Every structure is written in C-alpha cells, then in structure tokens.
Structure 1
Amino acid sequence: MSLALQHSVKTRQGRDLVPQDLFRRLVDFCADEYGLEHSVADRIMDQGLAFLWTMGTTHTEGTLAPSKEVDPAWHTFMLHSVEYAEWCRTNFGRFLHHKPNSKVRSRGLMVSVVEHIERAGFQVDKRLWQTAAACNEPACCGDGPCC
C-alpha cells in the first residue's frame, strides 16, 4: 500500500497583484466613493483585481463581467488611470476596457466568472458574486436600467 502525499496549495489573492500602497489607496477610495466599510471595500478590491487578472490573462474581456458588488473595484481602479493603464500594459500588453452590457449578464454568467477565477488559482469570496452588475450608483455604467 502506498501513501500519496497531500500538498496544500495556497490560493492567490487579488491584493497581491498590485503594490501594497496602491492596494490601500484603492481600498480607501472605494470605501469613500461608494460609502462602504473599509473591510467590505478591501474584499471588493481583492476580488476585483482577481477578476481583472483572470480576464486579462484569459482574453475573456468580451465574455466575462463583474458582479454588481465587484464592479466598483473596476471603476475605482480605472479612476486611478495612470496606475491602471500601466498595470494593464505591464501584465497583459493591452488596456482592459470596461464595456458594460447589462443585457447579457445573468446568474449563470456569475457562476462562470467564479469558475474562471478559481481556475486561475484565486481565492473567491462567493458572497460578492451572487448577482450580475447592471448599474452601480453613483457611478452608473451607462447601459443599466438606472441610466
């Protein structure tokens, strides 16, 4: 009888994809802009960065979409345009444009997004991936029902 060794594989976190000082600035901005507790903004930014990395490395920017809860992370990072543009260029060789389309977002899409992020090796906070993003006030996406 042989024993197989079990290795614990540590999942990645989105927060590790940017310098710590930038992550803190993004969390602070997200919390302030969206009226969130810092602990919630921290989780949102972590998941948003994991989402962006997954989308950028798998070339699925036309297919994947953030949840309503995670979409503010993308908005926050894009508003830090110098850092966002450089991060995209360095990591993907291109700019990840935010082209929201609430008409194609569904619960099934959120399941698919979570699966993509998990396959990329990231820890997923499934509480933030329950609904699709249609529009997030105060920064409306431009195509959601509130616009």
Structure 2
Amino acid sequence: MTAVALEAANTGRFLVRPALFDWLVDRVAADTEVAGDRDLATRIVDQALAFLAASATSPRTLAPSRLVDVGWHTFLLHTREYAAWCDQVAGRFLHHIPADPADAPIDAVAARARTLTAITEAGYAVDTELWREVASTSCADKGDCSASGEDGNENQDTRIPN
C-alpha cells in the first residue's frame, strides 16, 4: 500500500503517549498479518485508536474494518494498558464484542457508514484505504465484531443493529 496523507483532522496516534503508540505499532508490525510493514502498522494503530475514541462517544454500536480490528486486537491483548486507556478516554471499558454465529447477519454497509461518520464527527481523520471493505464483515479472528454501544455492556441487545 502507499502512504496516505491524512487530512488536517486529529489522528488517533495522539490519544496515547508516543512510547505506547510506537510499542503498539511494533507489535502489529511483528505479530500480525502485516508483519514487516511498519508504515501500514502505523496507519492501522492510528485508525484503531480513532475508531475506539469514536466508539467511546457514539451512542451507536460501531464496527471496525478487518485491518482496523487487527490494531484493536493488538491493543486489547495488552489488558493493563488497554483498560487504563479506556478509563481515561471513555470513562469505561470498551468491550470487543464478537457476533454470535447464530445472530442474524448485520447490514454491513450501514455499519461502515455509521462507523466512518462517527469517526469523522468525533474529529478524527479517516484513512479510507483501511476502510475499503465493509466494516465488520470479518473480525480479525474470523468473526464479526463491534464496540460496545452506549450501554457499554455486551450483554445488552445493542450489539450490532441492522
């Protein structure tokens, strides 16, 4: 992929201290399907953070793209840092909610539009190359997933509205 210049909006990278951002990028570049592509890993972590910040303020359930989900999974696996960040930015834990295969399929086009609108409205730049595929059509672990909506509780019926 080519480098993408983000518009003059905020970027997700400024939501964490520089050392944590670099550490997450290193993990994505070393441990995931984008191994060795540090530029792509940087963009993925940036968009994952912007997605999570938008999820923190949106009353709607949002869904990541497949590549953005890679960044979210990487952050989520480091629970201490992730939980502290969620508390600081969202005031609550942002749950990662895999869809149950028994659930009805989501309207992925609407989920993508809703998610990109929320990121933009939250003031963050959208790296459109990372959001090409319809949001939530494939969770990084091969299932659909979303961020916990307004209630912040994965046991509610607000998982992924159609």
TM-score normalised according to structure 1 size:
0.81
Instruction: Give 2:41's aligned residue.
Output: 41
- Taking structure 1 as reference, are residues 120 and 25 closer, same or farther at Cα in structure 2, changes over 3 Å only? same
Instruction: Give 1:5's aligned residue.
Output: none
Count of aligned positions = 131
Instruction: Give 1:130's aligned residue.
Output: 132
| Higher Cα radius of gyration | 1
Which among 14, 17, 25 is matched to residue 16 of structure 1? 14
How much does 1:97 deviate?
Answer: 0.7
Write the distance in 2 (CA, Å) between the matches of 1:19 and 1:29.
16
Write the distance in 2 (CA, Å) between the matches of 1:11 and 1:27.
21
Instruction: Give 2:29's aligned residue.
Output: 31
Runs of 4+ in 1 over 3 A off after TM superposition: 141-144
Which among 77, 86, 89 is matched to residue 88 of structure 1? 86
**Identity across aligned pairs (percent)?**
43
Instruction: Give 1:113's aligned residue.
Output: 115
Instruction: Give 2:52's aligned residue.
Output: 52
Say whether the 8 Å CA contact 1:45–1:70 is kept in structure 2.
yes
Unaligned regions of 5+ residues in structure 2, if any? 1-6, 146-162
Q: Deviations over 1:13-69 (max 9, x none)?
A: 000000000000000001111142010010010000000000012243xx2110111
How much does 1:108 deviate?
Answer: 2.8
Q: Deviations over 1:98-143 (max 9, x none)?
A: 002283251331122111111111111011112233232xxx2556
Report the aligned-residue RMSD.
2.0
Unaligned regions of 5+ residues in structure 1, if any? 1-8
Write the distance in 2 (CA, Å) between the matches of 1:34 and 1:105.
27
Say whether the 8 Å CA contact 1:100–1:141 is kept in structure 2.
no
TM-score normalised according to structure 2 size:
0.74
Say whether the 8 Å CA contact 1:65–1:100 is kept in structure 2.
no
Matched position secondary structure for 2:57: helix
